[in-house]
Chains A and B, each alone.
Chain A
Amino acid sequence: MKDSVRNIQGWLLFTPAAILLLAFTHYPTVTTFFQSLYTNKSIIRPRRFSGVEAYESMFSDPIFWKVFVNNMWLALGTIPTSIGIAILMALIVNKAIPGRGFLRMAYFTPTMLPMIAVANIWLFFYAPDIGLIDKVLEIFGFEGNNWLGNPSTVLPSIIVMTVWKEAGLFMVFYLAGLQTISPELEEASKLEGSSRWNYFWRIQFPLLLPTTLFVLINAFLNSFKLVDHLFVLTKGGPDNASNLILYYIYETAFSFLDISYASALTIFLLALLALTALAQFFFLDRRTHYR
């Protein structure tokens, strides 16, 4: 009797969250899938079942492949670099050095800015001729470049900006990781006469592996979720050279009004994220066994 009361109480407490989660996560996931199997409804034609047609046109759409490859390059360009810099930052501010508070603040501040503001600031650095980078190049006698207007430099430019924005956040996770490492280990390695370099690679880096895994997965997911800067910097151009999957979904749905195709693209993105989450589950599982 008491059990069934608690059962009902439990469900009642969970219901508000359940309704909202169903309404804005599970239900739209399902409807997106069905939407992708139908053609668009228009005034002259009702929608009809089209099966996998939207997916077929997706896989033969060169822009789809372009934005997918761009996304992969973005991930590859930002993640290892930001992780490297983040570890360096964490090692710096984990020690008792002069101005530690200032350094931590300096490294972390970009994390607190909206991507739109970051894009506004960097827009000026990348501006052709009058921008900061071209001005500096001019002083040293180099040719300037239209960094965001040139298809071969636009993605690297965005990668540099993203590393600047994200490294500080990852630093915080590494800082948390470093603080769990017992100081006795450092003393022991000092007594053994091993170098700092050795201590880092033999002790700290392996012990930080769970943090690295966590950061790796989150950075990967982030590189697919964050497209705000494109609205200010490039609108995906020139010629889709900086376009990303989520921005392409936005364009397809809200500029070209092709809901069917936008749904197919969304399902592709969801599948990609689901695979990443499964990988995380698998690896984290192994880690617990290892412990």
Chain B
Amino acid sequence: MTYRNRIQTSVELIGAYILAGFWILPLLYAFWAAFHSSSDAMHFDIFSPLTLDNFREAWSQAPFARFSLNTFLLVSFILPGQLLISTLAAYAFVRFKFTGANIAFALVLVQLMITPEILIVQNYVTLSKLGLVDTISGMGLPYIASAFCIFLLRQAFKSIPKELEDAAELEGCGTMAILWKVYVPLATPTYIAFSLVSVSHHWNNFLWPLIISNSVETRPLTVGLGIFAAPESGVEWSILSAATLMSVAPLLVAFLIFQKQFVQSFMQAGIK
């Protein structure tokens, strides 16, 4: 019985690692190719010499530094905006039973389904009327009010006992002080979880930024990479690998360092 169990366990273990191999090898291969010349990469010459030429080449062919800056600016515009606006809205839903709150909340939830990606045509029209085409703020604006964030914060705020609020009120805290001193600190795990999910999402977002940007000054990494990789541009495979690695490196490194927090955040955001 134990002998059979041991065989079963080792078979399962081998299976688990084979599956992991399938999941990690494509990435490792791209990593390997980025440090080898295109012809070596194509012939799978494993012991061929290492080179940094691909990175140099990719870096000179497209302004990846500028793209990184744009992505960084985009994410740092969207996330604080989302947190601020959703905090206020969630507070309104939890502690101020204002007239029509239920209908308002239902209208908020609509955005969980109809995300801005689907309304690309009309949102483009709106932003061109506002004169915000080809700007980072235009790229971020449709995402600032996030139903998902409002929903998560509302759940977090609801679990905070009313007694804490009453105590703060006795201490002489006003409406906004209660929000800032009681609700926000107690909802910190939710803020972290949402922030990691939001940053990952917007770092990787492509379709809407592609539509709204048309110059190097606004293009984020994904769009820059997408244009760089388009079939008609005909770049060599190894250079493309290097460009891809450069684009994903910041987020990927952050993920590898804070792996547990990332996984837990996605978990938390998913089950709420």
Are chains A and B native binding partners rather than an unrelated pairing? yes
Bound complex: CA A99 to CA B117 (Å)? 39
Q: Are A120 and B267 in contact (CB under 8 A)?
A: no
With A13-B91, A231-B210, A246-B117 already in contact, the answer to whether A26 and B240 are too (CB < 8 A) is: no
A interface: dominant SS: helix
Report the bound CA distance from A169 to B60 in whole Å.
35
Per the bound structure, the CA–CA distance linking A225 and B237 in Å amounts to: 28
Q: Are B88 and A21 in contact (CB under 8 A)?
A: no
Nearest-CB distance from B230 to chain A (Å)? Answer: 7
**Chain A CB within 8 A of B62 CB:** no
Quote the shortest CB–CB distance from B54 to chain A (angstroms).
13
Interface size (B, Cβ < 8 Å)?
91
How many A residues face the partner with a CB closer than 8 A? 91
- Which B60-114 residues have a C-beta within 8 angstroms of A? 85-86, 88-89, 91-93, 95-99, 101, 104, 107-108, 110-114
Q: Does B113 lie within 8 Å of A17, measured CB to CB?
A: no
Chain B residues within an 8 Å CB radius of A109? 23-24, 27, 252, 255
* Contact among A14, A21, A27, A103 with B17 in the assembled complex (CB-CB below 8 Å): A103
Q: Could you tell me the distance between the alpha carbons of A92 and B19 in the complex, rounded to whole angstroms?
A: 10
Chain A contacts for B175, CB-based, 8 A: 9
Whether B244 contacts A20 by the Cβ 8 Å rule is no
Query: Which residue of A is nearest B114, CB measured?
Result: A25
CA distance A121 to B244 in the complex (A): 8
| Docked complex Cα distance between A105 and B255 (Å) | 9
Q: Is B215 an interface residue (CB 8 A)?
A: no
Query: Is B207 a contact partner of A107 (Cβ separation < 8 A)?
Result: no
**Interface set, chain A 101-138, CB cutoff 8 A to B:** 101-117, 119-125, 127, 130, 132, 135
A219 on the B face (CB < 8 A)? no
CB pair A112–B229 under 8 Å, yes or no, is no
User: Complex formed: what's the CA distance from A19 to B114 in Å?
Assistant: 16
Complexed CA–CA distance, A98 and B244 (Å): 32
Distance of A113 Cα from B254 Cα, bound (Å): 12
A16-B85 in contact (CB<8A): yes
Could you say which of B85, B112, B116 contacts A17, with CB atoms under 8 Å apart? B85
Closest approach, in angstroms, between the C-beta of B214 and any C-beta of chain A?
11
Chain A CB within 8 A of B270 CB: yes
* A14 near B88: Cβ-Cβ < 8 Å: yes
- Specify which chain B residues have a CB less than 8 angstroms from the CB of A235 in the assembled complex: 231
- Bound-state CA distance A122–B111 (Å) is 32
Query: Cβ of A259 < 8 Å from any Cβ of B?
Result: yes
Is A176 in the interface zone, CB < 8 Å from B?
yes
Q: Is B7's beta carbon under 8 Å from chain A?
A: no
Q: CA separation between A98 and B37, bound complex, in Å?
A: 36
Q: How far is the CB of A168 from chain B (nearest CB, A)?
A: 7
Residues of A within 8 A of B229 (CB): 116, 119-120, 123, 232
Report yes or no: B97 in contact with A266, Cβ–Cβ below 8 A.
no
Q: A17-B86, A23-B126, A28-B126 are in contact. Are A107 and B96 (CB under 8 A)?
A: no
A14 near B92 with CB under 8 A, answer yes
A35 within 8 A of B: yes
> Which residues of chain B are near A16, meaning CB under 8 Å?
85, 88-89, 145
Q: Known interface pairs A9-B175, A24-B141, A103-B16. Does A231 touch B226 (Cβ–Cβ under 8 Å)? A: yes
| A105: nearest chain-B partner, CB-CB | B259
Interface contact A20-B96, CB-CB below 8 Å: no
**Does A164 count as interface, using CB distance less than 8 angstroms?**
yes
User: For B101, what are the chain A residues with a Cβ–Cβ distance below 8 Å?
Assistant: 10
Residues of A within 8 A of B88 (CB): 13-14, 16-17
Chain B residue at smallest Cβ distance from A214: B270
Judging by beta carbons under 8 Å apart, are A114 and B222 in contact? yes
Q: Which residues of B contact A177 (CB under 8 A)?
A: 271
- With A17-B86, A25-B114, A135-B44 already in contact, the answer to whether A110 and B19 are too (CB < 8 A) is no
Instruction: List the A side residues contacting B112 at CB < 8 Å.
Output: 277
If A16-B85, A25-B110 are given as contacts, then 18 extra A-B residue pairs at C-beta distance below 8 Å, sorted by A number, are: A10-B92, A13-B91, A13-B92, A20-B142, A21-B108, A25-B119, A28-B123, A88-B19, A112-B252, A112-B255, A113-B27, A113-B252, A120-B225, A225-B117, A228-B222, A259-B121, A270-B114, A274-B113
- Residues of B with Cβ closer than 8 Å to A? 12-13, 16-17, 19-24, 26-27, 29-30, 33, 42, 44, 85-86, 88-89, 91-93, 95-99, 101, 104, 107-108, 110-126, 141-142, 144-145, 147, 150, 175, 200, 203-207, 210-211, 221-222, 225-226, 229-231, 237, 240-241, 243-244, 247-248, 251-252, 255-256, 259, 262-263, 266-268, 270-271
A interface with B by C-beta (< 8 Å) = 6-11, 13-14, 16-21, 23-29, 31-32, 35, 85, 88-89, 92, 97-99, 101-117, 119-125, 127, 130, 132, 135, 164, 167-169, 172-173, 175-177, 214, 221, 225, 227-228, 231-232, 235, 246, 249-250, 253-254, 259, 262-263, 266, 269-270, 273-274, 276-277
